[in-house]
């Protein structure tokens, strides 16, 4: 498995398997076991996904040594505070039945992110987390957190796909030593992305699927991608992206698909903050 080196020296696999919206425990365990069998070594879950226990069972059932796996989980906004983060992390570790996690992220830039980050810094110093990072932070939020705390996030996991490429964000993070990781690599299947003419043309040219073209594009950008499927054949297909390379001309063709389209919302919009806060009973 190819890796990237994070800003603290930790090696992170270049592709990962995510379990968002796979809430059934049996299915989650099965697909994670299949992903690990296929060759995935990065497994991404979260407190909010409700499937950490199933991920932990799959890790133990896989037979792969723990040190060869890279396990990510995330802190939800309901516990976005110093004390909340300490307790939530302990709960996640118990559900996963692991001694440590490789990457722990603040899931959203909402709530007492500074208090939570101080808790993560302490957990990192104690060796319970190998790297700490954030998710869905824009450059100004990333700068604010970094400048007024001790540890610069190792990773920022953001929505990133061919219709929302975030070149400026990626350039800023690269300049600051923060690894870009994507969620929504397939735009959650929206905008008829799998039938996009440019992607279909490239899929035919390279004898790959449109999904493989999108994941290979991210790999060549230096982005750590996540993919998800409950279908074993697609799990295997999405991993099979290391035996071809997109030409620079074809990379440029994909760049031309940029439309700044989102599958979620603007994290700077007050309505987004209110929406997320509403999930944990906060309102004006």
- d(CA 149, CA 262) in angstroms, rounded, equals 30
Domains of the chain: 3-278 (3.20.20.100)
Exposure b/e, 3-39, CB count within 10 A at least 16 = b: ebebbeebebbbbbbbbbebeeeeebbbbbbbbbeee
Angle value at C-alpha 174, between 173 and 178, nearest 5 degrees = 55
- Distance (Å) of CA 252 to CA 133, 173, 221, 260: 30, 21, 11, 16
Pairing type for strands 132-135 and 225-227 reads unpaired
Cα dihedral sign for 93, 95, 101, 106? negative
Do residues 157 and 182 make contact, with C-beta atoms less than 8 angstroms apart? Answer: yes
Q: DSSP alpha helices (H): ranges in the chain?
A: 25-38, 52-62, 82-96, 113-125, 139-147, 167-176, 197-206, 210-221, 232-239, 248-255, 270-278
Residue listed under structure tokens 């998710």: 135
* C-alpha dist (Å) from residue 240 to 183, 185, 213, 234: 18, 15, 10, 10
Tens digit of pLDDT at every position of the chain (284 positions): 899 999 999 999 999 999 998 878 999 999 999 999 999 999 999 999 999 999 999 999 999 999 999 999 999 999 999 999 999 999 999 999 999 999 999 999 999 999 999 999 999 999 999 999 999 999 999 999 999 999 999 999 999 999 999 999 999 999 999 999 999 999 999 999 999 999 999 999 999 999 999 999 999 999 999 999 989 999 999 999 999 999 999 999 999 999 999 998 888 889 999 999 998 888 87
Catalytic residues: 49
pTM recorded for the entire structure: 0.96
């Amino acid at each position: 498995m190819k890796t990237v080196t994070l800003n603290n020296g930790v090696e992170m696999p270049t592709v990962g398997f995510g379990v968002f919206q796979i809430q059934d425990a049996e299915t989650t365990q099965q697909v994670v076991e299949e992903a690990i069998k296929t060759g995935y070594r990065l497994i991404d879950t979260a407190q909010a996904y409700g499937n950490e226990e199933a991920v932990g069972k799959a890790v133990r059932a896989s037979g792969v040594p723990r040190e060869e796996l890279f396990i990510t989980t995330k802190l939800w906004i309901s516990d976005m505070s110093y004390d909340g983060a300490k307790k939530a992390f302990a709960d996640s570790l118990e559900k996963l039945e692991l001694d440590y996690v490789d990457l722990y992220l603040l899931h959203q830039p909402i709530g007492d992110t500074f208090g939570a980050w101080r808790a993560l810094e302490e957990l990192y110093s104690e060796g319970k987390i190998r790297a700490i990072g954030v998710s869905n932070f824009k450059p100004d939020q990333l700068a604010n957190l970094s400048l007024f705390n001790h540890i610069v996030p190792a990773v920022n996991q953001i929505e990133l796909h061919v219709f929302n490429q975030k070149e400026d964000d990626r350039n800023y993070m690269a300049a600051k030593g923060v690894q870009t990781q994507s969620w929504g690599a397939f735009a959650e299947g929206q905008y008829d992305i799998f039938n996009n003419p440019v992607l279909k043309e490239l899929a035919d040219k390279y004898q790959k699927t449109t999904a493989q073209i999108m994941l290979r594009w991210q790999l060549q950008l230096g982005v750590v991608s996540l993919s998800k499927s409950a279908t074993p054949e697609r799990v295997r297909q999405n991993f099979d992206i290391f035996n071809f390379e997109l030409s620079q001309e074809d990379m440029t063709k994909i760049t031309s698909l940029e439309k700044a389209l989102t599958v979620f919302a603007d994290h700077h919009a007050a309505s987004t903050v209110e929406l997320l806060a509403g999930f944990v009973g906060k309102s004006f």
